Amino acid sequence: MSSLLKGFALIAFLASITVSSRSATATLIEADYLINNDNGAVFDTDSGLTWLDLDKVAGLSYIEAGQFNNKYRYATYLEVEELFSRFDNANYLSIGIAPNVSGELKVAALSFASLFGTNLGSFSYGLYSNESGILNYAGIYTAGTNIIGTDWDFNYEIFRASGNPAFSTYLIRVSEPQTFVILVLGFIVAIRRRNKTI
């Protein structure tokens, strides 16, 4: 087997280990926003995404939230949907709300709200642009422990240019180059240098 093929095999193996280990231990954990241990963000070990706490942009319009910090970007519909997939086993009403959840689901919902922060004491709601490009929101209402999932499909365009203190916006840290990409680029540079010396 040539050294080139061995290198690609090693990279593929390392990538598969990284992906499989993520899925086996998926969880949300506190993360840093500006300084060490400020707990102003949430890291999702499954997706590898770091989400800004909702209380950081509480009351800002969707447009203002997108300009809040250039190290953060709007979450996509698919990213929000993946985030809320942890609540797929909830008993949602046809309108997309799971009211008064209990047991492990309630613990998970309250943990979510604790990590992401609440507005006005009980609203852990984040705006996002749905698959049709219309503003919607998903989140947790802690007073009744309701889960508002991504099937809650109403038009909240009113908050695009004007804020509401109960709402925030889902923002994700702009990722730095991943280790895998760096490995691949390093491998390509090494091969080019080797070919030039031959």
Write the pLDDT tens digit of every residue in 115-173.
Answer: 999 999 999 999 999 999 999 999 999 999 999 999 998 999 999 999 999 999 999 99
Q: Which residues of 162-196 are buried (b: 16+ CB within 10 A; e: fewer)?
A: ebbebbbbbbbbeeeeeeeeeeeeeeeeeeeeeee
Partners of 56 in the β-ladder: none
pLDDT at 99: 97
Which of 8-12, 33-37, 185-189, 190-194 shows the lowest per-residue confidence on average (mean pLDDT)?
A: 8-12
Cα separation, 11 vs 169, in Å, equals 36
> What pLDDT band is residue 197 in, cutting at 50, 70 and 90?
low
Cα separation, 61 vs 17, in Å, equals 40
pLDDT at 163: 95
> What pLDDT band is residue 113 in, cutting at 50, 70 and 90?
very high
For tokens 């095999």, the residue is 9
Quote the Cα angle for 140-87-123, to 5°: 5
What are the strands of the beta sheet with 72-74, ordered from one edge? 28-31, 41-44, 50-52, 171-173, 72-74
Q: pLDDT digit string (tens) for 33-92? A: 888 888 899 999 999 999 999 999 999 999 999 999 999 999 999 999 999 999 999 999
Which of 179 and 174 is assigned the larger pLDDT? 174
pLDDT at 145: 97
